[in-house]
Amino acid sequence: MTRKLIIGNRLSIACIIGLLFAASGCASQPYESGVSFYPKPAVVRVIHGGTDEESPLTVLASIEGVRRADLDHNVAPALVVKLKFENNGPSHVTFDPISFELENGSLHPFPPPQVQPPGMIDLAPGQRQEVTASFLLPPAGYPEAMNLTNLRLRWEVRIDNYPVPQTALFEERAGGSPAPEYVGPDVAY
């Protein structure tokens, strides 16, 4: 009887601790709720001009959301973007995060992002690499001071040292209703 009581109490305590962890996780989500950007992901391809070959480079771009400020950890509010570079061809591809540009629908540019991993990225044929860019938001006034309804993300890759500019367009959707799928524009080089 005592053994059953001890086991039952331990299970109850474990359940309560589990519920507390779950509740605290819900309360401290890193992104603003109700703010979603589509498409998820935008697909940007590079095609070799005048051929029907498979795209030598595909980039999947997605806006993860608006990260909340975390004053305890000295983290500023930011618009977080993830990209996945996929080198599908025989060429050498490089990406320099300095080329990142983000602007809103009012043509207001964001400051250069904090990027992980930092520095130049080299992709050998068949290689893939993910990059996360955090574009800082003004500390006060979001979202009133920012027009995040439409966003344009631009960057440049080099394919065999030939510069290829790329662009992805995003639209904010309240309540998470998805926009029609966005593919393109394909960029010829």
Over residues 77-88, the pLDDT tens digits come to 899 999 999 999
In angstroms, the CA 88 to CA 24 distance is 42
Element at 13 (helix H, strand E)? helix 2-27
Residue 147: other Cβ atoms inside 10 A = 14
Q: For position 29, what pLDDT does the model report?
A: 74
In angstroms, the CA 129 to CA 121 distance is 8
In angstroms, the CA 40 to CA 3 distance is 53
Q: For position 13, what pLDDT does the model report?
A: 45
Query: Band of the pLDDT at 34, cuts 50, 70, 90?
Result: confident
Torsion, CA 59, CA 65, CA 66, CA 72, rounded to 10? -100
Q: For position 134, what pLDDT does the model report?
A: 96
Which letter does DSSP use for residue 75 in this model?
A: B
Q: For position 70, what pLDDT does the model report?
A: 86
| Arithmetic mean of pLDDT, 41-57 | 81
Per the CB < 8 A criterion, the answer to whether 31 and 64 are in contact is yes
Whether this model's pTM surpasses 0.85? no
Query: Tokens for 119?
Result: 């520095």
| Arithmetic mean of pLDDT, 12-21 | 42
Q: What are φ and ψ of residue 109, in 5° steps?
A: -80, 145
